[in-house]
Amino acid sequence: MAFYSGQVSVGTVATVIDGTLVGAAGGNPYKMHINNNDNTTDVFIGGSAVTTTTGYRLEKLEAMNLMVSPTDRLYAVSSKEGHILSWLTEPV
């Protein structure tokens, strides 16, 4: 079982959080752990059209865990540029 991790810089345009396991993992869902590294600003999670008014709010320094299909992509957007998120994926 391989773990993948990294960081992504998010701005005011929806940005893919992680594409490492898209189309991989043998078609199986995987666990994704996302951490908002910013200590001043919330970030918003959703699909490719996510905005700061429609996304799921991940508050400053908050983390979340999700099960994701390898055919789906998760996006994030912020009210500022250079917003850093950390992520870790684990096949299940």
pLDDT tens for residues 36-52?
A: 999 999 999 999 999 99
Cβ within 8 Å of residue 4, ≥6 positions away: 18, 20, 21, 88, 89
pLDDT bracket for residue 30 (50, 70, 90): confident
CA quadruple 32, 12, 81, 20: dihedral, nearest 10: 30
pLDDT at 64 over 60: yes
Q: Is a pLDDT exceeding 60 seen at residue 22?
A: no
Structure tokens at 24: 């991989």
**What share of residues in the chain are helix, strand, coil (percent, to 5)?**
5, 45, 50
Find the CATH number of the domain harbouring 78. Answer: 2.60.120.770
What is the number of domains present in the chain?
A: 1
Q: Which residue has the tokens 């699909």?
A: 47
Domain range for residue 21? 4-91
- Biggest CA pair distance of the chain: 38
Q: Rounded CA gap, 36 and 22, in Å?
A: 22
- Checking if the pLDDT of 23 tops 60, the result is no
| pLDDT at position 88 over 70 | yes
